[in-house]
Homo-oligomer: A and B are copies of this chain.
């Protein structure tokens, strides 16, 4: 398993993972019909850095890191992680989240925040908690889930400095 910074050439391999996850509408707040072109902007141009996780030369996961707020909030970063459905349950999200925390610290960030975690995404919530994140907010009915309707979303947060 290798995690390395992504290049734009990697996007052809990232897109099927992005599209599968975003079109399902159950975890990310991107429009479900986000186009390939828009996806590239969201995943490569808005973030500060984008990474891919490769196993045997095949991209199976990806994440971005970006500043969550400017000015008075610029010491807090935000990350988003995606794992191919082919590779779930093999620790890829854990590996990327741990990698991102080191990367964040190297970039000078002091904390990491997830702004909008669907409360139905129990696997992710359990994993982020295991990795030291706390639920610091609950947004009532803020996530419009395609099958469950309006459900709560969590704000999760971790201070990275020891």
Main secondary structure of the interface of A (DSSP, over half): strand
Counted per complex, copies of this chain come to: 2
For this complex, 7 residue pairs linking A to B, each with C-beta atoms less than 8 Å apart, are: A28-B72, A72-B118, A75-B150, A137-B139, A139-B155, A142-B157, A155-B155
The contact size tier of chain A is 35 or more
Cβ-defined contact, A145 with B32, below 8 A: no
Cβ-defined contact, B30 with A116, below 8 A: no
Within 8 Å of chain B (Cβ to Cβ): is A104? Answer: no
A72 to B115: give the CA distance in the assembly, Å: 13
- With A76-B142, A141-B159, A159-B141 as known contacts, state yes or no: A116 contacts B153, CB within 8 Å: no
Chain B residues whose CB sits within 8 angstroms of the CB of A72 once the complex forms: 25, 28-29, 118, 143-145
Beyond A28-B72, A69-B115, A73-B116: 18 further Cβ-contacts under 8 Å?
A25-B71, A28-B71, A29-B70, A30-B71, A69-B116, A72-B118, A72-B143, A72-B144, A72-B145, A73-B142, A73-B153, A74-B144, A110-B141, A110-B150, A111-B140, A111-B141, A137-B137, A141-B159
